[in-house]
Structure 1
C-alpha cells in the first residue's frame, strides 16, 4: 500500500524565517493519536466499519497497510477523501510477518486484530519516536487477564489467544495507561467478554473508542474509577459508521505558534473541550484564548501576565497531554516569567528536544532527565536543527518563527509521521517556510 502523497513527495527540510504575526483561520486534520486505536477497534468488531476523517499522516497510512497484510480489507472510496472502510477478509493461511511494524510506536494496537484473524499475534518491539522505552509489561498483563499466553524474545513478542474466551474479565491498571486501556477494550471486543477495567485512562482517544463501540451496539460506561464494557446481545452484521476527531495536538501546536508570534487566529475542526487544559494554561500566562465547540481562537495579546507556566504532563483525566508540552516550551521562550516543564510519561523526550532548542540559543536548566525550567523571554538565533521526533519537530518550527535569521529544520519525515503537512498549515497563517529540495 502506498503512503499518502504528502508522506513521499514533501521535502524533508524547511527553512523558517521570522515575519509578521501569524493570522487567519486554518483547519486541522484528523488525529493520528485517535485514528490508530479506532482502526484497531474497527478491525476487532468482526464487521465492516466506515471511518471518516482518517489523516494522511505516515503512521496512520502505515497502520492501514499492516491491517491489509493481517487479513483485513481496506477500501478507500475515491469520492470520499479521508474515508476508509475496514472489514474482515479472507484470512491468509499463516500469520503475516510484520517485523517492519517496528517503524511505528503504536504497533501494539495490532494485537487484538491479529488475535481475531489468526488466534495469535507476533510483533516486534515498538519503534517510532525515540522518546523512551514503550513499556509493554502492562499490555502483557492485560492479555494474561484474558487467559492469553505471552512469549518474549529479543526481537519482539507473541500473544497466543486463550483456547476458550472468558465471559467476564476484571482487572485494575496500576496507572492510567492509554495503550493498555485500549488494549483491554479491543481484546474484550474480540473475545465478546464483559470487561470491568479499573483505574482506566480517560483521554479523548480512549473515550472516543468507547463512543464508537456504543454506536456498534456495545454498552459502555466510563468514569474515573472504572470502565464497564458489555457486548451486544446478538451478532450484528450491518456496517458501522465512525469518525476520527480533529487533531487536538495539531490544534494546540498551531495555537502556540500564533501566540508565539503575537498574532491572532482561529483553528477549526477540533473538539474544543479537549483543549481545556491547554487553554487554561495559555490564559493564565496572559495569552487570551477562547474555546468553541469546534475551534480554539487566539486573541491579540495586549500584555502578557508574567505568571509562570507549569506544563506538567499527566495521565489523570484532567491532566495535560504530554504531546502539548514541546509546543508550550517553544512558546514559553517568548513569555516573561520562569516556567517549569515535566514529562515523566515519555522519559526520552527532553533528551531530544532540549539539545535542539539549545542550538538556537535557548537557555534551559535541566532539573532531571524529565524536568526542566526556563526564564523568558529569550532571544533565539536561527541555525540548523533536526526534528528527532514528531513533537520536537513541531516545537522547532515554532521556535524558528521567533528566532533571528534563518532556521533550517531537517528530519521532517519524523514530523509527517504525526502530521500530514503541518508546514502547509503554518504557511496558510502567513508563516515564512520554504521547502529545501531533497
Structure 2
C-alpha cells in the first residue's frame, strides 16, 4: 500500500478556504453508478470478464468483497491498478450471509449473481445514503415475471429462481434504472430473450447493454423498448469491458469551476452524458463546451439572471438527480430565483439544505422535494457534515465560494461514491487541506 493511499483513507475531514478561480485539466474516475451493475453483469455471465476503469470508491470495493464472499474469483492485475478480472468460482452449496450488503444502496444488483450461483438470493434491505426508501416493488415484479418467488420481511428479502419462459416481456410503469438493470441481468442468468417496455435509458443502463453486446448478446434499445437475446452457441474466453467515466463527478467539478468563475476541462467522460447539465449552465451565462470525451467550463459571460429550473427526471435526456445538489450549491452565487426538484430521492433535500444553512444559505423549502433559491447570497465558512455522497460534493462546491474557512466532516460518506474528490479539486487550484483523524 502506498503512502498516498494510507493518507487518503485515514482522513474524514477537510478544511476548505475561498479559492481563486479554479483552472486546469482534470480526469474523472470511472463511474461508481456504472461499475456496480457492470460487476454484477460480469458475475452473472458465467465467463471471465476483464473490467477496466474501476473506481476505488468504497462502495465498489465493498461490492467486490461481497462477490468474493459469494464464491466468485476477483483478480486485481498488478500492472492495471484500475482494473479487475471477475471469474466464475467454486461456489459452496450454502448461501452466504451478506449482512454488509446493507451498507450499499445498490446492493440489489447482487440478486442475479446469487441466482446464477445458488438458485436463490437472500439480502438485507438496501442501505447507503439516507435519501429516502429504495423502493423494491418494481424489482420484485420483474423477478415474478421470470417465474421467481419473492419473500420478504422486516429484515430483508429472498428471491428463489423459477423457470423462465424462452421470452419474457416486462413493461415498467416508470423508467426505473434499478428495475431495468434487474430485468437485463435476470435475462442473462436465464439465458432467455427479453422485451422490456418503458425502459430506463441512462448511461448506466446502456453501458450494461453495450457490455453484453461485446459478450455476444444481441441488444437493441429505443425510447419505447429494450430487446435482448442470447448469443448463438456458448461463447468462451475472457471478454473486456470498460467502466464509463463518472458523469456525476465531472458535473460536480464543472459546478465547482463555475462557482469560482474559473475555466477548466474535465476529461475521461462521455460529453453527451453531461448535455443536460451543460445546457443549464449555458442558460445562466456560464459557457460549457461538450466534446466526445470531455467537457470544458469557460469563464462566464455576463451572468444572465435567468431563472434556473433543475428538475430531476428519469426520462431520456432528462437531468440526472445526482446533478441537482451541486447545482443548488452553484445557484447560491447566481443572480435570479431558481427552482429545484428531486422526487426520485425524497430525503435528499432534508440532508443537504440544513447543512447549506450552516454556511448562511437561505433556501425556501417549498415541499420535501422542492426548493427555491434566490441569489446571489453571501456564504460564510462554518463546520458542515457530508450526510450523504451528493450532499458532500455539494458542500465542497459551496465552500469554495464561501467567505472564510469551511470544515467538512463525514468524508467517509463522500468516498463511498468518489475515491478522492478533494484531491481532484486541489489539482485545479482549490485550497483544500486534509485533517488527519
Same fold (TM over 0.5): yes
TM interval, shorter chain, is: over 0.9
**Match of 1:12, SS?**
strand
Partner of 1:133: 133
Work out whether residues 6 and 420 of structure 1, in 8 Å CA contact, stay in contact via their aligned partners in 2.
Answer: no
Partner of 1:46: 46
Work out whether residues 7 and 57 of structure 1, in 8 Å CA contact, stay in contact via their aligned partners in 2.
Answer: no
CA distance in 1: counterparts of 2:404 and 2:265, whole angstroms: 27
Q: After TM superposition, list the pairs within 5 Å mapping 1:102-117 onto structure 2.
A: 102-117=102-117
Partner of 1:259: 258
Partner of 1:307: 306
Q: After TM superposition, list the pairs within 5 Å mapping 1:246-395 onto structure 2.
A: 246-395=245-394
Q: Report the CA distance between 1:9 and its aligned residue.
A: 2.3
Partner of 1:157: 157
Q: Deviations over 1:49-99 (max 9, x none)?
A: 000000000000100000000110000001111110001100112010001
More displaced 10-residue stretch of structure 1: 301-310 or 416-425: 301-310
Partner of 2:239: 240
**Match of 2:329, SS?**
helix
1:16 aligned onto 2:16: yes
Query: Structure 2 vs 1, CA of residues 6 and 413 (structure 1 numbering), >3 Å: closer, same or farther?
Result: farther
Q: Deviations over 1:272-307 (max 9, x none)?
A: 111100000000011111011111101111311111
Partner of 1:34: 34
Gaps of 5+ in 1: none
CA distance in 1: counterparts of 2:78 and 2:274, whole angstroms: 32
Q: Give the alignment's TM-score, normalised by structure 1.
A: 0.98
Work out whether residues 31 and 244 of structure 1, in 8 Å CA contact, stay in contact via their aligned partners in 2.
Answer: yes
**Match of 1:232, SS?**
coil
Q: Report the CA distance between 1:311 and its aligned residue.
A: 0.6
Work out whether residues 287 and 301 of structure 2, in 8 Å CA contact, stay in contact via their aligned partners in 1.
Answer: no
CA distance in 2: counterparts of 1:363 and 1:222, whole angstroms: 43
Work out whether residues 8 and 420 of structure 2, in 8 Å CA contact, stay in contact via their aligned partners in 1.
Answer: no
CA distance in 1: counterparts of 2:31 and 2:186, whole angstroms: 23
Work out whether residues 44 and 112 of structure 2, in 8 Å CA contact, stay in contact via their aligned partners in 1.
Answer: yes
CA distance in 2: counterparts of 1:365 and 1:19, whole angstroms: 27
**Match of 2:11, SS?**
coil
Query: Structure 2 vs 1, CA of residues 200 and 6 (structure 1 numbering), >3 Å: closer, same or farther?
Result: farther
Q: Deviations over 1:9-29 (max 9, x none)?
A: 241000000021101110010
Work out whether residues 7 and 420 of structure 1, in 8 Å CA contact, stay in contact via their aligned partners in 2.
Answer: no
Q: Report the CA distance between 1:5 and its aligned residue.
A: 3.7
CA distance in 2: counterparts of 1:278 and 1:330, whole angstroms: 14
Task: Please report the RMSD computed on the Cα atoms of aligned residues, expressed in angstroms.
Answer: 1.1
Q: Report the CA distance between 1:7 and its aligned residue.
A: 9.4
Structure 1: 4+ residue segments shifted above 2 A: 4-10
**Match of 1:301, SS?**
coil
**Match of 1:297, SS?**
strand
CA distance in 2: counterparts of 1:373 and 1:306, whole angstroms: 15
Work out whether residues 327 and 394 of structure 1, in 8 Å CA contact, stay in contact via their aligned partners in 2.
Answer: yes
CA distance in 2: counterparts of 1:98 and 1:7, whole angstroms: 29
Work out whether residues 7 and 413 of structure 1, in 8 Å CA contact, stay in contact via their aligned partners in 2.
Answer: no
Work out whether residues 14 and 408 of structure 1, in 8 Å CA contact, stay in contact via their aligned partners in 2.
Answer: yes
Work out whether residues 33 and 204 of structure 2, in 8 Å CA contact, stay in contact via their aligned partners in 1.
Answer: yes
CA distance in 2: counterparts of 1:165 and 1:334, whole angstroms: 54
CA distance in 2: counterparts of 1:425 and 1:8, whole angstroms: 12
